[in-house]
Amino acid sequence: MDELIADIYEIENKEQLIDEIMNSYGDQILKLAYSYVHNKVIAEDLTQDIFVKCYKSLHTYKGNSKLKTWLWKIAINHCKDYLKSWYNKNVIVLANETNYTGDKQESVEQTVIQSDDDQRLATAVMDLPIKYREVIYLFYFEELQIKEIALVLEAKESTVKTRIRRAKELLKKGLEGINEWKNG
- The pLDDT assigned to 49 comes to 93
Alpha carbon distances (Å) from 6 to 10, 11, 60, 148, 160:
9, 10, 13, 18, 28
- The pLDDT assigned to 118 comes to 67
- The pLDDT assigned to 86 comes to 77
Q: Which fold has domain 106-184?
A: Arc Repressor Mutant, subunit A (1.10.10)
- The pLDDT assigned to 180 comes to 54
- The pLDDT assigned to 27 comes to 92
- The pLDDT assigned to 142 comes to 83
Question: What are the residue ranges in the chain where pLDDT is below 50?
Answer: 2, 4, 6-7, 9, 96-105, 110-113, 181-184
- The pLDDT assigned to 6 comes to 46
CB of 61 closer than 8 Å to CB of 8? yes
Please count the other Cβ atoms lying within 10 Å of the Cβ belonging to residue 73.
Answer: 16
Domains of the chain, by residue range, sit at 1-99, 106-184
DSSP letters, the chain, are: -HHHHHTTTT---HHHHHHHHHHHHHHHHHHHHHHHH--HHHHHHHHHHHHHHHHHHGGG--SSS-HHHHHHHHHHHHHHHHHHSHHHHH-PPP-S--S--S-TT--HHHHHHS-HHHHHHHHHHHHS-HHHHHHHIIIIIS---HHHHHHHHT--HHHHHHHHHHHHHHHHHHHHHHHHHHH-
- What is the pTM (predicted TM-score) of this model? 0.62
Question: What's the CATH code, domain 1-99?
Answer: 1.10.1740.10
- The pLDDT assigned to 60 comes to 83
- The pLDDT assigned to 121 comes to 74
